């Protein structure tokens, strides 16, 4: 789908960046303004994703495909706002709000697990002397991103460190340490990843990560609740999300009740500091909008802290 090769390092990272770029360019008010995202997508890539989204309207909503035939911008807006953007935008807004507060509280390191085409480092140059940033992702995705940064004219600053890693394999802290990671107070983000890991893989990853850092270190991540594989959502968007993940070769594997997530974190030495349900996410980030953006059913955010 989208005309990009299955398993290519560009697929999820470019589509996510496309959603952020579209929102920054066209939507008001902003949930999360990643004004640099479009610089990491070529015009050809942007147009290709746009064309494939529009052609795919029948998959998302057959009725609208007939009703809006020939109205390509209206179709693109609907697909982007209903299906593509809500979760990446709101979870990024939540995560970066927590992160900036953690920096004020003394966090010295930020580890972005599954960084993709993240632009935090370049949107916050004022943190260069106070925060070391470690972007963790697959080697293919990281090489792809470095090429994108170079093409866009970004210089990689000294406090940004790339750490290649495969999350589904046994975790080792050694690559992080070799990149300059130390035992200082750390903030982790794990956005858009937990669904694709088994419960044992997520538990193992968190236990190993937090063995490296002191008390007070914390993480923000999103997870799907126990209704993931039964829920339909607005215009079947939850069902569509599960189908698209399977079709792309990266099936969703895990969903959790709140008590199950609480137990998993407890076993890793973590306490839930805050959790946002879909209702709370909608209230905080999408209230009083006049467009199609709303919080995704089944997706929750959690901020957990090491005891």
What are the residue boundaries of the structural domains of the chain, listed by start?
11-84, 86-306
pLDDT for 9: 57
Query: To the nearest whole percent, how much of the chain has pLDDT over 90?
Result: 89
What is the per-residue burial (b if ≥16 Cβ within 10 Å, else e) of 280-295? ebbebbbeeeeebbbb
Mean pLDDT of the chain: 93
Q: How far apart are CA 91 and CA 150, in angstroms?
A: 27
pLDDT of residue 11: 74
Does position 168 have pLDDT exceeding 50, yes or no? yes
Q: Is the pLDDT of residue 5 over 50?
A: no
C-alpha to C-alpha distance for 243 and 231, rounded to whole angstroms: 12
Q: What pLDDT, on a 0 to 100 scale, did the predictor assign at position 10?
A: 54
Say yes or no to pLDDT of 1 above 50. no
Quick: pLDDT tens for 46-105.
999 999 999 999 999 999 999 999 999 999 999 999 999 999 999 999 999 999 999 999
In the numeric block, the tokens 């200082």 are attached to: 184
Radius of gyration in angstroms for the set of CA atoms belonging to the chain, rounded to a whole number: 19
Domain 86-306 sits in which CATH superfamily? Vaccinia Virus protein VP39 (3.40.50.150)
194, 228 Cβ separation under 8 angstroms? no
pLDDT for the residue numbered 40: 95
281: helix, coil or strand? helix
pLDDT in tens, 205-248: 999 999 999 999 999 999 999 999 999 999 999 999 999 889 88
pTM for the whole thing? 0.94
Q: Higher pLDDT residue, 171 or 219?
A: 219
217 to 33, 111, 162, 189: CA distances (angstroms): 26, 11, 21, 11
Q: Which of 275, 226, 276, 222 is nearest to 254 (CA)?
A: 226
CA gap 4, 262 in Å, rounded: 38
- Confidence at residue 68, expressed as pLDDT on a 0 to 100 scale: 95
Write out pLDDT tens, residues 23-43: 999 999 999 999 999 999 999
Q: Which tens digits make up the pLDDT trace of 274-300?
A: 999 999 999 999 999 999 999 999 999
Smallest CA-to-CA distance from 202 within 171, 242, 230 is with 171
């Amino acid at each position: 789908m989208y005309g990009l090769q299955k398993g290519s390092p560009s697929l999820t990272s470019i589509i996510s960046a496309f959603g952020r770029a579209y929102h920054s360019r066209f939507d008001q008010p902003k949930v999360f303004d990643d004004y640099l995202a479009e610089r990491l997508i070529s015009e050809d890539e942007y147009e290709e994703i746009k064309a494939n989204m529009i052609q795919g309207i029948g998959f998302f909503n057959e009725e609208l495909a007939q009703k809006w035939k020939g109205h390509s911008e209206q179709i693109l807006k609907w697909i982007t706002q209903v299906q593509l953007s809500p979760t990446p935008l709101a979870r990024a807004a939540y995560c970066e709000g927590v992160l900036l507060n953690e920096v004020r509280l003394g966090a010295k390191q930020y580890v972005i697990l599954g960084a993709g085409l993240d632009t935090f480092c370049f949107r916050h140059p004022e943190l260069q002397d106070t925060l070391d940033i470690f972007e963790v992702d697959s080697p293919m995705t990281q090489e792809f991103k470095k090429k994108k940064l170079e093409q866009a004219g970004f210089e990689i600053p000294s406090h940004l460190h790339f750490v290649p890693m495969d999350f589904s394999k046994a975790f080792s802290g050694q690559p992080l340490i070799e990149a300059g990671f130390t035992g200082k107070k750390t903030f982790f983000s794990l956005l858009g990843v937990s669904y694709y890991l088994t419960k044992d893989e997520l538990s193992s990853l968190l236990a190993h990560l937090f063995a490296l850092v002191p008390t007070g270190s914390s993480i923000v991540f999103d997870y799907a609740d126990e209704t993931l594989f039964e829920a339909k959502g607005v215009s079947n968007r939850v069902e569509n999300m599960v189908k698209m993940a399977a079709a792309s070769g990266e099936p969703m594997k895990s969903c959790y009740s709140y008590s199950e997530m609480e137990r998993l974190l407890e076993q890793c030495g973590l306490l839930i500091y805050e959790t946002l349900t879909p209702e709370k996410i909608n209230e905080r980030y999408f209230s009083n909008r006049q467009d199609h953006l709303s919080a995704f059913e089944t997706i929750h955010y959690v901020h957990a802290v090491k005891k």
